[in-house]
Amino acid sequence: MTSIDIIKNKLIEIANEKIIRNDPSHDILHALRVLKNAETICKEEKADLEILIPASIFHDVIVYQKNDTRSKFSSEESALLTVQILKNIDEYPKEKIPMVEYAIKTCSFSKNVRHETIEAKILQDADGLEAIGAIAIMRTFSSAGQMNRIFYNSKDPFCKNRKPDSQIYGLDLFYTRLLQIKKRLYTNTAIKLAEKRIEFLKIFLEQLKYEI
């Protein structure tokens, strides 16, 4: 087992204790899927996996629901907690901690930040892929249920003649976020991975249109 595998396993073990269990959209499985995405992209884009592993695992270690006034602080608080965790792991190279902190702090779709480092770009892409495809649909309606939002607007479900409002309707998030993510991906690898997922979103919308 390599040193990076030892660090990775130790971080996953810590994450299992730290990450909340009452939000399926941001649980440990979400963290591990983002990690898998990041590892796939990193392999093609030649980035630093020692930065991406902790950044991926802990990017949502602290999360507030989108309708919580503290939501805008989630990334900063996650970054600060990650710094504390990494400082206490002897095997982790301390000079890389600021780059992990930066990647997590700027990993937020709503902040609309242009990232400066390749690792921050890959983390954003890896997390963005979670908002496209089958997983994205599951996460969208899980969050909608937690926040007591309506599935869709019965008069205009697909936002043909109104502005999308994802604060009220779960389906509207497709138009404010899910179908917009690809435009904001940085890496060619992530863009290619997104294409099949976007096709699935469109298939879902066509099926929903048929059913309602």
pLDDT at 190: 97
pLDDT at 82: 96
Q: Output the CA torsion sign for 59, 63, 65, 66.
A: negative
Q: Domains along the chain?
A: 3-211 (1.10.3210.50)
Strand pairing partners for 169? 150
- The Cα-based distances of 112 to 52, 109, 124 in angstroms read 20, 6, 10
For the whole model, what pTM was predicted? 0.91
Q: 198 pLDDT exceeds 90? A: yes
In the structure, what pLDDT confidence band is assigned to residue 65 with cuts at 50, 70 and 90?
A: confident
CA angle, residues 112, 60, 123, in degrees to nearest 5: 55
Residue 66 DSSP symbol: T
3 Cβ partners below 8 Å, 6+ apart?
91
In the structure, what pLDDT confidence band is assigned to residue 25 with cuts at 50, 70 and 90?
A: confident
Q: 108 pLDDT exceeds 90? A: no
Helix axes 118-128, 97-105, angle to 10 degrees: 40
